[in-house]
């Protein structure tokens, strides 16, 4: 695999370090009627924030040219409620041919399928 990726999960924050020689693409998809929010932070500054709801709903994508180290904060907001922390799991990195993947999934507690929001990072070797 070209580059390395090392996610560390603490509460509802994924601390992600991807060392890749090419840009990293991130896509954020929801699978819940509850509003999901994913905020990407580097050096204490928000670099992207995607929010939305729905089944198989792509709520955002971006390309990170400086992908070294950043955080992704996962939250959900039930109707009429305040933002709450999501539970997280991660997978990867995986290599398929020359494409590398890292996945972070979140659960808002209404079931246990860990697909309420799916964040996929991908980059080429």
Model confidence at 1, pLDDT cuts 50, 70, 90, reads very low
For CA atoms 46, 52, 55, 58, give the dihedral sign: negative
Share of the chain above pLDDT 90, in %: 77
Domains of the chain by residue range: 4-124
Residue 18: closest CA among 8, 27, 5: 5
Predicted confidence (pLDDT) per residue in 100-120, tens digit: 999 999 999 889 899 999 999
10-37 residues labelled b (16+ CB within 10 A) or e (exposed): eebbbebebebeeebbbebbbbbebbbb
Predicted confidence (pLDDT) per residue in 20-60, tens digit: 888 999 999 999 999 999 999 999 999 999 999 999 999 99
pLDDT at 119: 98
Q: Give the CATH class of 4-124.
A: mainly beta
Is omega for the bond preceding 83 within 30 degrees of 0, making it cis? no
Is-contact 55 93, C-beta < 8 A? no
Residue 91's CB is within 10 A of a number of other CB atoms, namely 12
Is residue 94 pLDDT above 70, yes or no?
yes
Is-contact 38 62, C-beta < 8 A? no
- d(CA 112, CA 125) in angstroms, rounded, equals 34
């Amino acid at each position: 695999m070209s580059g390395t990726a090392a996610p560390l999960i603490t509460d509802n924050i994924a601390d992600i370090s991807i060392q890749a020689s090419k840009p990293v693409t991130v896509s954020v998809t929801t699978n819940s009627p509850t509003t999901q929010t994913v905020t990407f932070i580097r050096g204490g500054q928000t670099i992207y924030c995607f929010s939305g709801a729905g089944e198989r709903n792509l709520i955002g994508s971006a390309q990170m040219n400086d992908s070294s180290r950043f955080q992704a904060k996962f939250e959900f907001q039930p109707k009429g409620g305040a933002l709450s922390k999501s539970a997280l799991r991660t997978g990867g990195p995986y290599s398929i041919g020359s494409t590398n993947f890292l996945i972070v999934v979140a659960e808002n507690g209404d079931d246990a399928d860990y697909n309420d929001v799916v964040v996929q990072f991908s980059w080429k070797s």
